[in-house]
Amino acid sequence: MRPLSGVTVALVTTAAVMTGITADAGTERAAPAAAELPRDIPGGVEVTMVDGDRLRVWAAENHRAVWAKRYDTATGAWSARREVLRKEDLSCGDVDARTANGAVALTAECDPGGWSEDQAPVATHALWSADTLTWSSYQLEGEAYDEPGISSDGRRAVWPQHGGYVTLGPEGFTRHTLETTGQEYTTTATITDGGQVSFLFGAHVSRRRCAMVVLTRTGDAPPTRQELALDDACQDRHFANVDSDTTWFGEYGVASQRTVISRPDASSPWSVTQVAPAAAPGLERAEGRLGTTFLDATGFPLLALGSPGGRKVRAQVYDASSQAWGASQVVHDNGGARCRWGDDSFAEPLAVVVVTVECGARSVVLTSADALHWQSLRMGRHALGLSFDGRYAVVPGRSRTTVVSRELGTLTLPLGVRGRCDVVVPDGPDGAVLLTAAGRNRGWPTLLQHSSPGGWTRLSRTSLPTPRQGCRKARSEHYDLPYRFTVIGRRDKVYRVRIAQRAGEWTVQRSRW
């Protein structure tokens, strides 16, 4: 072990110990909510600080610097951006971070000269700050791109690098070598207040067996080794620490594909405390056009839907406490029509349960207020509408429009949506706003209307274009924020539109494809 100089150094306490090796099943939801991981932004991430402030750190578009700015919850304003890292002949393309107790640890992926996303970074920098104003930095060795780990008191940090890892403590930045025989793909590392490091990685531990290996030690003492059984430990999966005692393996933002490897405290062994629900017992797998799909809505248990025969859709509820799926029930019968799942890849979990089954002109939306009792809402060829915050959904039909909410369940408005390019969004739990065609505009939407007891009531005329080629259809775009619609005409006439409320008035915002 050789201490290495940094720009600044923090003080920390010491003490840590590792005990014997076991592996056991955990209890309900061993991990915190997905929102507690950093939120991705272009070139970096946004983390939530202990006081509720938000810190954004990112690589500049020209790759010549790493910047940070902080949102003050008390004033409701962002600070001016501050330069975190800039060096001559250094280009940085991405940043990851972890925070604890007001401190922040960063990994800035950098290369000498120019930056290329197609190559592993070889000049990555480890950075740490106690106050988000003054930063320590140290260049990692070899290819390094994994996220940092930070202790719960914020005064220690760890960064994986080629051949081992680097820690930050009272002695400054310190490089540690570590033998990781058989390692495959990504790793993650955690550190405790006392400086105990756990280094986790998938590895071939024998000719026919792969396992998740955990090496735990303080300083450069011989590590305690654990081998945890995990079927896909040697496959190319995401792997990251959430805190000093919790890691996620799999798809972070997809609850069905996420395995939790954690421990109660630093003196306890690591174990697989939550298997990925997609691999949990009791799941009735379906293949084909209506193969098993998972639905994760805020405030609801995880749901699985599928149609083994392609006609009857069955639903199952995941029990997080037992880590098993309940019995399935039929929630919809297609009646022999050829159907497939609609595009229900939502940018963030919704507050309502909605899943689209596309059956040509007879598409329906399946919804449930309690994950037990289900409804099938006819939607035809129109597009599902969502509120900007995901609290409400609206299902347009030719003779009626249904708003879905937690407050009222399903509320049917006796108002149809007829135009082939008409789109609608919810206005709370009991209203809707329609963007519709009016006059001789070849089906292109031009008019905003609001639901009322007497029918659709005009709000305003828009300045949306009306090309000579007719409008063919509109579809929802909800895999990214903000939620929008794509309006599609003949001969490649396409634009995106967002229906939003500004200063109490409903407006439309158009952007090119």
d(CA 166, CA 270) in angstroms, rounded, equals 21
Domains defined for the chain, CATH in brackets:
2-278 (2.130.10), 342-512 (no CATH)
End-to-end CA distance of the chain: 55
Q: Report the pLDDT averaged over residues 481-494.
A: 88
More confident residue, 491 or 5: 491
Q: Which residues contact 33 (CB under 8 A, 6 or more apart)?
A: none
Query: How confident is the prediction for the chain on average, in pLDDT?
Result: 90
Express each pLDDT in 27-58 by its tens digit: 333 333 444 789 999 999 999 999 999 999 99
Q: Report the pLDDT averaged over residues 477-503.
A: 90
pLDDT of residue 19: 30
Q: Which residues contact 435 (CB under 8 A, 6 or more apart)?
A: 422, 423, 424, 445, 447, 448, 462, 485, 497, 499, 508
C-alpha torsion 487→489→493→499, nearest 10: -20
Confidence of residue 22 (pLDDT cuts 50, 70, 90): very low
d(CA 370, CA 353) in angstroms, rounded, equals 9
Among candidate residues 424, 430, 432, 431, the one with its CA nearest the CA of residue 409: 430
pLDDT of residue 8: 35
- Tell me the two tokens of residue 348: 């963030």
More confident residue, 216 or 491: 216
Q: For the ranges 21-35, 120-134, 230-244, 486-500, which has the lowest average pLDDT?
A: 21-35
pLDDT of residue 471: 93
Express each pLDDT in 218-242 by its tens digit: 999 999 999 999 988 888 889 999 9
How many Cα atoms within 13 Å fall on the side-chain side of residue 32?
11
Express each pLDDT in 372-390 by its tens digit: 999 999 998 899 999 999 9
Q: Which residues contact 66 (CB under 8 A, 6 or more apart)?
A: 44, 57, 58, 59, 60, 83, 84, 85, 86, 92, 95, 106, 108, 127
pLDDT of residue 402: 97
d(CA 307, CA 310) in angstroms, rounded, equals 5
Express each pLDDT in 438-468 by its tens digit: 878 889 999 999 999 889 999 999 999 898 8
pLDDT of residue 35: 42
Let me know: does 448 contact 508? Beta carbons within 8 Å.
Answer: yes
